[in-house]
Amino acid sequence: MPFGAFLLARIFNLPAEIAAGLILAGAAPDAMAGNVMVYLAKADVAYAVSLTTVTTLSCPVLTPGLTWLLAKSRLPIQFWKMLLDLLLTVIIPLILGFGARHFFKKQMEKILPVFPALSTTFIIFICALVVALNREFILQTTGPILAAVVILNLGGMLGGYGVGAIFKMGRPQKRTLAIQVGMQNAALGTRLAIEYISPKAAIPCAFFIFVCIFTAAIAAAFWQRTSDDQTIV
């Protein structure tokens, strides 16, 4: 995904900040919502959770590392600050969450339904902030950025399914790879872009949030309606 973003930024001749934001979106870990889409698609949920776990735990190094590698020639990328930020805001809270679920299982179950609503609210707030900060620029350049984001997302889904086919995986695993590769945690990328690059760099990430949910929902709905004895492309 990050290498595809780098190539698309070149093809569409995107400004340096926008290119870095697109690369950052591609370098983000799997989206947690992808696990829900995999479930709806009747694919391999356990495999999806494993993929999300691996990409999330490795993101403090890989997300800033790949962004620095692919975007450093166009503008400075604060690798170490991003790495420390991700450790503090992703890995440590994740470990604390596992601990809380383990030691306070009964108490946590009472408040768990609140968290999906909170996360959705924060994602909407972040996207609204990006639009507000870049309103005039978005009106001028929406077409190329949106086209690059859509191609990156669809290319990721096709690539994920293709990799599954190359390795002769089962149909559920191919569906899972398609959704998980195509869906990135662009909300995390949006926050990192605003803080460590610029508000403009957050535009591709904000677009990616809505595009990947839309395309994954379509794929999940199609696969959900397709029974096991039917041929799926």
Cβ count within 10 A of residue 77: 21
Cβ count within 10 A of residue 84: 13
| Residue 48 lies in domain | 2-91+131-225
Q: What is the pLDDT along the chain (233 residues), one digit of tens a residue?
A: 999 999 999 999 999 999 999 999 999 998 888 888 898 888 999 999 999 999 999 999 999 999 999 998 878 888 899 999 888 888 888 788 778 877 877 777 777 777 666 766 766 676 666 666 666 655 666 788 999 999 999 999 999 999 999 999 999 999 999 999 999 888 888 889 888 998 888 889 888 988 888 899 899 989 988 746 443 44
- How big is the chain by its Cα radius of gyration, in Å? 18
CATH for 164: 1.20.1530.20
Q: Which of 38, 87, 93, 97 is nearest to 58 (CA)?
A: 87
Supply the pTM of this predicted model: 0.83
- How many independent structural domains does the chain possess? 1
Domain membership of residue 116 (yes or no) is no
Domain membership of residue 117 (yes or no) is no
